[in-house]
Amino acid sequence: MSRVRLTPKRIDDFTCPPGKQQAFLRDSEQPGLGLRATAGSKTFIFQGKLAGEVVRMSIGDPKTWTVEEARKEARRLKAIIDAGRDPRQEKAERIAAEQKAYRQTVQARQLALVAWDEYVQTRAPHWTARYTEDHRRAVSPGGTPITRGRRPGMGSKTQPGILHELLSQPLNEIRRDKVIRWLDANAAIRAEATKRALAMLQAFI
């Protein structure tokens, strides 16, 4: 690779010669930094050696990275190699960690009802039909017209399940204090149903 001091003008003027797949310019100011040009694009790259093996990584498009930003990144990558680590592996681990954190954030923010449905679907093959139905009734939104078996004083539509209100919020917001309030509100009026629902909730959480 040719070695020159990379400047915005030199980057703009540099092109891949006809008949070649790619061409390179090496920065004379920052070891390891280079510019790769192909027929349709240009990319800042970093190249170094780790245990005798050539390590080459893309840094970014010159349209979005300034030369100084690319030099700074090249210095960072060179420091990783100088410490005996592979920057490619570090990048893969960082991306994996970021993806895991993102998934956990999405899962925590989703309504608990969504997680409950997935939980029931997963566990249903190991449960009796009645126990599965108990879980589904516990989070029913209610509002279904009652067409038969309606007793005096009963409303015309079914009531929401005992856990519906509690689980109609993000999973990460269902904390101990909310569960205690739910328990206090229901235990006095439907003690046995609350006891069963609490057992189901504990297993789910």
DSSP 8-state code for residue 157: B
State which H helix or E strand residue 13 sits in.
helix 8-13
Q: What is the pLDDT of residue 110?
A: 74
Indicate whether 99 and 120 sit together in one domain: no
Instruction: Give the pLDDT of residue 74.
Output: 96
**Alpha-carbon span 36 to 14, nearest angstrom:** 9
Same-domain check for residues 102 and 6: yes
Final residue belonging to a domain, choices 44, 77, 106? 106
Same domain, 10 and 70: yes
Q: Are residues 120 and 185 located together in one domain of the fold?
A: yes
CA–centroid distance for 165 within its chain: 27
Domain range for 78 is 2-106
What integer pLDDT is reported at residue 72 of this predicted model? 96
Residues 7 and 97 in one domain: yes
Check residue 30 and give its pLDDT: 95
For residue 34, give the amino acid letter: G
* Amino acid 88: pLDDT: 93
Burial of 164 (0-12, 13-18, 19+ CB in 10 A): middle
Q: How far is 2 from 97, CA to CA, in rounded Å? A: 37
Buried/exposed 125-160: b ≥16 CB within 10 Å, e otherwise: eeeeeeebebbebbbeeeeeeeeeeeeeeeeeeeee
In a shared domain, residues 200 and 116: yes
What pLDDT is attached to residue 176? 92
Gap between the Cα atoms of 8 and 186, Å rounded: 70
Q: For residue 192, what is the enclosing H or E element?
A: helix 191-204
Q: Looking at the structure, do residues 117 and 197 belong to the same domain, yes or no?
A: yes
Q: What is the pLDDT at residue 184?
A: 92
Three-class secondary structure of residue 72 per DSSP: helix
CATH of the domain at 56: 3.30.160.390
Domain total in the chain? 2
Show the low-confidence residues of the chain (pLDDT under 70): 1-2, 106-109, 143-157
